[in-house]
Amino acid sequence: MKSGQAFLAKRLAQLMNQGESAKRDRKQPIDQPIPSTSRQDQQQPMEQGESGNAVTNQVAVLSQKYQRTFDRMKKRLVESKKIAKEKREEYCKHADLKFSQQLALAMGKEISDSTYDPDTEKKLEQEYVAARKRVYSVRYKLKKFMERHGLRFEEPDLD
């Protein structure tokens, strides 16, 4: 336990020595966690007055009109991500069916009720790709909106 605390103290000292500007300049892809924070029990200390959800604190500066637009765009992103996840799962399930049937054939087993259809797989793949593109587009528009209004983008969670 003490070695873990010593490690965290040492790591915190290293981060503080790197300088604040170096931390701000680093860019990290939205969908990938930062490698140094991959463990859930490692949490960076928060500065005084800093909240865990910076987006809600930032939103207070928007007018009512822009607040509604922001909420709508954020909701659209969450819904698009949910749909893309469902499409991916559906496509992967069909691809699993294909591979399990190919495996059965390779093992010499006979397949009586083949439910795999290549046309269905293509259709599911196209739907998944379209849903992924929509997520990218909606995320891009939300980022630009937030940039125009001086807000920092944070990826909304799926509900």
| DSSP annotation string for 31-85 | TS--GGG-STT--PPPPTT--S-HHHHHHTTS-HHHHHHHHHHHHHHHHHHHHHH
Report the range of poorest mean pLDDT among 1-5, 23-27, 133-137: 23-27
> Would you state the pLDDT for residue 17?
55
Extents of the domains making up the chain: 61-152
Mean of pLDDT values over 54-69: 72
> Would you state the pLDDT for residue 131?
98
Please tell me whether the overall predicted TM-score, pTM, comes out greater than 0.95 for this model: no
Pick the residue with more confidence: 75 or 17?
A: 75
